[in-house]
Every structure is written in C-alpha cells, then in structure tokens.
Amino acid sequence: MPLLVTDYSWTQTDSTVHISVPLKGVKVGKVDIVSTEEYLKVHFPPYLFEAFLLEPVDEDRSTAKIGNGLAVFSLPKRASKMWERLMITTSDKETKTEIRERALVKHLQKLSSESTQKAEKQQTEKKYALETMMKLEKEERDSIQKMKDEEREKTTAELAAWQKQKAEENARLKLQSQTENVNQQRNATEKQENRPMKPRKDTFIHSDTKSKKKTAVLPPPRLSGNIQITFTPRVFPTPLRESQAAEEEEWLKKQAEARRALSADLEELKDLTEEEKNPEWLKDRGDKCFAAGDYQGAVNAYSLAIRLNGKIAALYSNRAACHLKLRNLHKAIEDSSKALEMLTPAVSANAAARVRAVVRRGSAFCQLQLYAEGLKDYEAALKIDPHNEALQVDAQSIRDIIQGSAAQPDTNETQRDTNSST
C-alpha cells in the first residue's frame, strides 16, 4: 500500500501555484510524475501524492525541482486570479477516477508524441550527418579527380613536347648525315679526278712501305703471368648465410667506437704519464695486479681506464671479478650488469665475454644467498656454452641448495674459473 502524503504545503500568486511535497530520500530519475492541466501525481515508492486542481494550469510551462527530500512544483495558472483552495472538495470517487484516467491518457499521448518527435529528430540529424559525409566524400573525390586530370594533362603535354623535340632532333641528324654523305661523295669524286696516275709498280712499293710502317709501330706481345688476389677475411668464422650480419656489424661498430672514445677530463688527469693515459695499458696493468693477488690495485687500474674510455666491456667485467674477491658483492653485480649491457648484440665474437660476465653476476648473487637469481644467470651462461661441464656442476649444486638437498657451498666454489681477467 502506498503512503499518501498529506503534509504538503502550497503557496500562490496571481499567475503561479507553488506546491512543496516532502519525499524522504527522494532521488532524481526515480520519481514518477504525471502533470496535466487539472491533475498532478507524484509517486516515489512508497510515497504517493495526488492533487485534483481547483483551476486549470498550463502544463507545458510547469516545472519540477527534486532534491534535499523535497519535490517542488511551479504550475502557471491559465487565468490570473487567486484560488480559494488548491484542490476540488468533491468526494465523488467516480469524478476523481475520471479525472485521473483523462490525465493518464493525456500523459501517455504526450510521452508518445515526445518519443515520436525525438525519433524524428534523431532520424533527421542522422540523415543530415549522412548527407554531410556524402557531400564531403564527393568533394574529396572531385578534388582527387581534378588533381589526376591536371597531372594527366601535364604529363601528356610533356610527352608531346618531348616527342616533338625528338622528331626535330632526328630530322636534324638525318639532314646532317645526308649532308655529310654528299660532301664525302663530292670529296671522293674530286680526289679521284685530281689524283695523278702512277705506274703499277709504284703502287705495290707504296703498299709494301705502308705495311712495313704499320708493322714497325706494333707493341711487343705481353708476358704471361699470374696475378695474386687476396680478400679481406671475415671477422666472424661462420658463413654469411648462417650468421647474423646486422648484429655482427653493430658489434663491430661498437668495438670501433670503444677504441676511439676518450672521455677523460684532461684537467683532472694532467699529472698522468702517457702510458697511464692509455686504457689498454691500464687494462694490462689491472690484469697483472689481479694475477698477483693485488685486487684493490686492479680495481684502481680498471676504474681509471673506465674514466678514460667507458665503452670497453672487459673493464667492467674484470672489475666485477676483483669486487668478487674483495667481497664487494653489490658492486660486482652492478659491474657485471653494465658489461652485459655493453656486450650487445649477442654474436659469436663476444660469447666468451658474456659467459664470464653472467657467471660473475650469478656468483655474486649466490654469495648474497640469492640462489634463485644466481641460478638464472648460470642457466643463461649454459645457453651460451652448453658443453661447459664446470658450469653444469655449479648449476646443479645451486639447484640442490634451493631444493634443500645440499649444504651451502663455500663462497669461493660458486665462482670457479670465473675470476680470471680478460
């Protein structure tokens, strides 16, 4: 059963009636409103308000505002006068039912009319949009066709001009050739007529002399021999059809840039000797220090070489080996990662260097007890060098540690044969 709202309030002026209907928790869009010139209904379940108006109102200009628990209606009067009351006082249910039914029928007709008008408006807008699109497409087609016609006319004119020029040139060459033939014939005739007759013997003598002269000026025959040809050897041993030519060229370019790059600040390094300014000499110095067990000295040499030329991957990889010996594990991971970034693209020329760098990083991870990360690096190294038995043994040891079936090895065993400098 709906709850009839009886605590409404209303005010009026000569031209307008204002009705305020309290609806607890009212929300816009959930209120059913029927408004005609003699009837007003507001339905917001479970609340219901009906008003059988005393005088007719202008339903087309009527407005409603909903919010804050209220529904406020402004109903313009058809006749400007003050009402004695808001609603009719009749208690005849049939009369009210008749008014209600008329209002509902009129409301449905209004909704149907609005729906039809909305559909017609949408159809009109859609038709207008389609016509506009067709018009734009036609204009675009006409513009393209015009450009094609202009280009065709231009090409035709150029072709006609070229053909005309070619015909004129052929005619000129033909005339010139005819003129030359006539001149040659004329010269030959004049020469024949003016040439004195000589004995037949002289003719043979002249022919022999001319033949001898021709034979005298001939060059001697060439000496036979073999020409040795050598080709520049390929840097990579694989046949070109089996290689990755683009990756190999990129790697060679990086190597050339590394040899040319000198990024040292000369003001800060002005006290160094000429040898100490050479990255290759510093790399050899670091290798010797590493072999002698002077790991900190090797780090210093590699670091200075990196300052001079930071594009040599071996410097980072070798410094990572030193950091492993000095237990600077995070620095070893950082230098190994930097070396791997520089050892791209992956080609056969840098395969061994990539194995060393990735195993050094994996060894550092294992010493930090990050065995999962270390195992990934060892498996990556095995993909590059799948037949390396030492790597296979180390990788299996790490798997046993992860599975809990083996004790943690000595930290020096996890870096077997990976700390030698390159």
pLDDT tens for 276-298 read 778 899 999 999 999 999 999 99
- Which H or E element spans position 397? helix 389-403
Banded pLDDT at 202 (limits 50, 70, 90): very low
Please give the share of the chain, as a percent, with pLDDT higher than 70: 82
Q: How far is CA 412 from CA 56, 74, 325, 421, in A?
A: 102, 91, 9, 16
Contact indicator for 307, 285 with CB cutoff of 8 Å: no
Contact indicator for 215, 329 with CB cutoff of 8 Å: no
Banded pLDDT at 198 (limits 50, 70, 90): low
- Which H or E element spans position 49? strand 47-52
Sign of CA dihedral 365, 370, 373, 376: positive
Kindly report whether the peptide bond that precedes residue 345 is cis, defined as omega within 30 degrees of 0. yes
Predicted TM-score (pTM) of the model is 0.40
Helix (H, G, I), strand (E, B) or coil at 235: coil
Sheet holding 16-22, edge to edge: 9-12, 16-22, 70-76, 63-67
Sign of CA dihedral 42, 43, 46, 50: positive
Given this model, what pLDDT does residue 2 score?
78
**Domain residue ranges of the chain, discontinuous segments joined by +:** 3-114, 269-415
Instruction: Look up residue 57 and give its DSSP letter.
Output: B
Banded pLDDT at 409 (limits 50, 70, 90): low
Structure tokens at 404: 């809990």
- State how far the Cα of 20 lies from the Cα of 11, in Å rounded to an integer: 9
Given this model, what pLDDT does residue 244 score?
65
Structure tokens at 186: 């004329």
Task: Please tell me which of 210-224, 311-325, 340-354 the model is most confident about, judged by mean pLDDT.
Answer: 311-325
Banded pLDDT at 205 (limits 50, 70, 90): very low
Structure tokens at 145: 């066709």
Given this model, what pLDDT does residue 239 score?
57
Tens of pLDDT, residue by residue over 98-129, are 888 888 888 888 888 888 888 889 889 999 99
What is the residue type of 183? Answer: N
Question: Is residue 215 over pLDDT 90?
Answer: no
Q: Burial, 309: exposed, middle or buried (Cβ in 10 Å; 0-12, 13-18, 19+)?
A: buried
Count Cβ atoms below 10 Å from residue 194 Cβ, excluding itself. Answer: 7
CATH number corresponding to 3-114: 2.60.40.790
Question: Is residue 93 over pLDDT 90?
Answer: no
- Token look-up 């060679």 returns 252
Q: Per CATH, which fold does 269-415 belong to?
A: 1.25.40
Contact indicator for 5, 49 with CB cutoff of 8 Å: yes
Count Cβ atoms below 10 Å from residue 238 Cβ, excluding itself. Answer: 12
Helix (H, G, I), strand (E, B) or coil at 264: coil
